[in-house]
Amino acid sequence: MAKMGSAMNASTPWFRVDHDGQTLRLTAGGPWTVYHAVSVDAGLRAIVPNKAAVAEIDASQIEALDTTGAWLLLRTRAHLKDAGLKIARFEYPESYRPLVGIIESEHLVAPAEVVTHVSLGTFLERLGRSSHAVLILGVGILGYLGRITIEWFKTIYAPQRHFRFTATAHQIEQVGINALPIVGLLMFLVGIVLAYQGADQLSRYGLDILTVNALGIGVLRELGVLITAIIIAGRSGSAFTAEIGTMKVNEEIDAMQTMGLNIDDVLILPRVTGLVIALPFLTFFANIMALIGGAMMCYFQLGITVPAFIRQLHEAVNVNTFLVGMIKAPVFAYVIGMVGCYEGLNVERNAASVGKLTTRAVVESVFLVIVLDAGFSVMFSILGF
């Protein structure tokens, strides 16, 4: 017979273990709460079944039971069952049956130890699962792209029925006008960095003036639209996912569908359209700010005056250089808006899912923007732009 605690002291939990032939009988009483769990935890872990084949747990004398105490009882039952004993009896006060039932249904018994074996098979399994998940995600995004494209054509065909001017104007303000300060500041600093690094290398060969060429071509063709798109993906794309995801958690989207509203017309198209309209203007503004920053650095670092900078820039770039960057902007905007809204609609009904899919939307948007930029670079190179 093993005994823990005192049955006469009502302020502490106790349990007693008796062996009767092949039967192990556990009797428990007192307050089994979080405040007293430590006093019985070690004793419960040390229970040895010996040669017993059947176990009986009598916790009917327990005076107070909370989540921790109920978990200790369930863990002990699981421990005896794992030791090969048949649980013939498991009693506790009827008033605590809902609590024990909830904990049991939520699988809050002792967690199983997971042993990870590093092997070729495990690696291939993980690789296969990841590849399958990426494939499913790609198919989902592609399907949603087709859906939004069809809805956009419907809007063009019947704008009086589908186009929402007020919502679109609001999105243009949110993703475009309100983003001007951060985009302008960052691109101004990027222009300074590019000019400084270019001057540092080219001045060694006496080619200081070519810093303007490198700055103009690099900003107008690639960096201006690419960095702006990445900023907008982190700023506006994530906002789309968080806003729509929160509406889904709060069941606002379900209510709108119950009212007969088209979610694509009300929520998706205004955001995507506003972003497609705003990003080219943001790109143009970003290009100007980067060139201003580069011109300042060239003036102070190399002594190139503003008129000389403008003259050299005019010789280095042409209309095609400017158009290459501007053509990319609406495509990047469409992808960023579409991915942000797609992930927002996939949010589950919990707060953790909102954060997870918001992060995933930014990662996917940046990845797709860079892939598209690489594709545009190859295409324009083949076409001779």
Domains of the chain: 2-105 (3.30.750.24), 139-383 (no CATH)
Distance set, CA 100 to CA 72, 96, 160 (Å): 11, 6, 59
Q: What is the pLDDT of residue 373?
A: 92
Give the Cβ contact number of residue 226 at 10 Å. Answer: 22
Question: If 0-12 CB within 10 Å is exposed, 13-18 middle and 19+ buried, where does residue 352 land?
Answer: exposed
pTM of the prediction?
A: 0.67
Write 203-210 long-range contacts (CB < 8 A, 24+): 203/302, 208/302, 208/304, 209/304, 209/308, 209/312
Say what the pLDDT of residue 264 is.
81
Q: How many other C-beta atoms can be found within 10 angstroms of the C-beta atom of residue 36?
A: 21
* Residue 79, pLDDT score: 85
Instruction: Report, as ranges of residue numbers, the positions in the chain whose pLDDT lies below 50.
Output: 1-3, 5-9, 108-114
The three-state secondary structure class of 305 is coil
Angle made by CA atoms 305, 311, 314, in degrees to the nearest 5: 140
Indicate the SS3 state at residue 329.
helix
Answer for the pair 109, 90: CB distance below 8 angstroms, yes or no. Answer: no
pLDDT at 116: 54
> Which candidate, 16, 25, 33, places its Cα nearest to that of 70?
33
Tell me whether strands 14-20 and 86-91 are parallel, antiparallel or unpaired.
unpaired
Element (H, E) at 90: strand 86-91
Amino acid 286: pLDDT: 94
pLDDT of 231 reads 94
What residue type is 306 in one-letter code?
Answer: V
Half-sphere exposure of 69 (CA within 13 A, CB side): 25
Q: What is the pLDDT of residue 114?
A: 45
Contact 240, 144 (CB under 8 A): no
The residue type of 192 is I
Cβ-contact 188, 288 below 8 angstroms: no
